[in-house]
């Protein structure tokens, strides 16, 4: 027979375990590069990204792995969704499901570190919001379209960078599909643009 005390301990043990897992993702703790290397295979990345000179559907792994900011890499993920989505659909491969923690591991493997992102500039974040066309589908503080969720209600997804990158993985195929349907260009990101935009959207108005 299991005593009441033991049940409580078991429940608590479970709860503490769950908390630790959540904390790793939510606190944006550093990912594990060797797990990231395995995930790169498991999540189908290696299908298209191979070594220099080997045939693959995407740029070689050497171009992906480099010292870079975590938001910078998030921007590169975002930019490449339409091409990857089209290629995988053509091959009949399902879109890979990747959790926040797994993205953190992939980021560590690819050389991304939040310390390499520049200090956020929310004014430039606002510029990015407008020039990247987010408001063609989303609303924010009463402005913009109502095709997609209000961005003011989604503050929690923009940080830490691994969470935002994981959200992008989950949702951008749908965003890209809506963009194609409506003839809206899927915006591309480079350098610090994603850093500034995430700070602007995550923190609210300056």
Binding region for ligand HEC (CB under 6 A): 43-45, 47-49, 57-59, 63-64, 76-77, 79-80, 83-84, 87-88, 96, 106, 132-134, 136-138, 147-149, 151, 154, 157, 167, 171, 174-175, 178-179, 182, 184, 187
Closer residue to ligand HEC (CB): 16 or 93: 93
Cβ–Cβ under 8 Å, residues 47 and 57 = yes
> How near is the Cβ of 111 to ligand HEC at its closest, in Å?
10
> How near is the Cβ of 21 to ligand HEC at its closest, in Å?
19
Q: What is the rounded CA–CA span in Å between residue 52 and residue 50?
A: 7
Q: What is the rounded CA–CA span in Å between residue 195 and residue 39?
A: 25
> How near is the Cβ of 15 to ligand HEC at its closest, in Å?
25
Q: What is the rounded CA–CA span in Å between residue 159 and residue 201?
A: 10
Q: How many CB atoms lie within 10 A of CB 162?
A: 31
Closer residue to ligand HEC (CB): 16 or 66: 66
Backbone angles phi, psi at 68, to 5 degrees: -155, 165
Closer residue to ligand HEC (CB): 175 or 192: 175
Using left for φ > 0, alpha for ψ between -120 and 50, and beta otherwise, residue 140 falls in beta
Closer residue to ligand HEC (CB): 10 or 76: 76
């Amino acid at each position: 027979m299991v005593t009441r005390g033991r049940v409580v301990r078991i429940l608590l043990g479970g709860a503490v375990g769950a908390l630790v897992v959540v904390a790793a993702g939510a606190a944006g703790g550093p990912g594990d590069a060797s797990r990231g290397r395995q995930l790169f295979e498991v999540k189908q990345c290696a299908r298209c990204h191979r070594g220099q000179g080997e045939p693959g559907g995407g740029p070689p792994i050497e171009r992906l792995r480099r010292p870079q900011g975590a938001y910078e890499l998030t921007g590169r993920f975002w930019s490449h969704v339409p091409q990857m989505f089209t290629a995988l659909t053509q091959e009949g491969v399902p879109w890979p499901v990747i959790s926040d923690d797994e993205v953190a591991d992939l980021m560590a493997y690819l050389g991304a570190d939040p310390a390499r992102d520049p200090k956020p500039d929310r004014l430039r974040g606002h510029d990015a919001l407008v020039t990247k066309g987010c408001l063609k589908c989303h609303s924010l503080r009463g402005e913009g379209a109502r095709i997609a969720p209000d961005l003011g209600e989604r503050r929690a997804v923009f940080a830490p960078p691994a969470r935002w990158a994981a959200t992008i993985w989950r949702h951008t195929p749908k965003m890209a599909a809506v963009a194609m349907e409506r003839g809206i260009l899927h915006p591309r990101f480079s350098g610090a643009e994603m850093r500034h935009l995430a700070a602007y959207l995550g923190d609210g108005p300056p």
